[in-house]
Amino acid sequence: MRVITGSARGRRLETLEGEDVRPTTDRIKEAVFSIIQFETEGRVFLDLFSGSGQMGIEALSRGAKAAHFVDSSKKSVETTKRNLKTTKLESGAKVFQMDFHSFLSMNSQRFDIAFLDPPYKTGMLQDALGLVHEHMSETGVIIAENPLNEEILSNYGDFVLDRQYRYGKIKITTFRHKDYV
């Protein structure tokens, strides 16, 4: 796994091993950043189930002002920190080892881009979508990665389904504020 483009382009990232881990593929990562290619620079990115941190690191590499990495796993947080050091992107990063409920309940930051890729079919995605919209800037975008057969609603608060993209058995869904769709 490597950083695709930007200041850390080509840098190799550590991945997590194990059956509970499912890193976002390079194909999906490229697709996500293609969707938001003109919305990343100078923005605040939330990598809510960050794993190895690759999505937030890609955002920082592409010029995001800041990225918040949230994961409940100590191993994930340690891997994210090592990857940030390797890419020399630590200065724009904040890393939190806590579950998404705790993070969102204590957070006062507004995000421009939120990427959600929790463990599949656990209900966490639906719960997170139900909370994260309250922490978004009005012009922001929420991006969810989930399997095709996992249902999500078409709106969460003022954020409504914008587009869905299919990549094999995975779908990427974007949500935007109803006034900006």
Average pLDDT score, the chain? 94
Strands 66-71 and 93-97: parallel
- Pair 14, 79: CB distance under 8 Å: yes
Q: What is the pTM of this model?
A: 0.95
CA 150 from chain centre, in angstroms, equals 18
The percent of residues in the chain predicted with pLDDT above 90, rounded, is 89
β-pairing, 111-116 vs 44-47, is: parallel
- Spatial distance between the Cα atoms of 132 and 47, rounded to a whole number of angstroms: 11
41 pLDDT higher than 60: yes
Element housing 113 (H / E): strand 111-116
Helices 54-61 & 74-87, crossing angle to 10 degrees? 20
d(CA 90, CA 27): 25
Q: What are phi and psi of 163, to 5 degrees?
A: -145, 155
Average pLDDT on 156-160 reads 97
122-133 per-position pLDDT tens digit = 999 999 999 999
Nearest to 138 by CA among 89, 177, 85, 82: 177
For 45-88, the pLDDT digits (tens) are 999 999 999 999 999 999 999 999 999 999 999 999 999 999 99
pLDDT at 20 (0 to 100): 59
Q: What is d(CA 68, CA 63) in angstroms, rounded to the nearest whole number?
A: 14
The dihedrals phi and psi of 22, each to the nearest 5 degrees, come to -140, 85
Q: For the chain, which domains are there?
A: 26-180 (3.40.50.150)
* Tokens read off for 40: 């990343």
What pLDDT sits at residue 50? 96
Q: Under a CB-based contact definition with an 8 Å cutoff, are residues 119 and 92 in contact?
A: no
pLDDT at 19 over 70: no
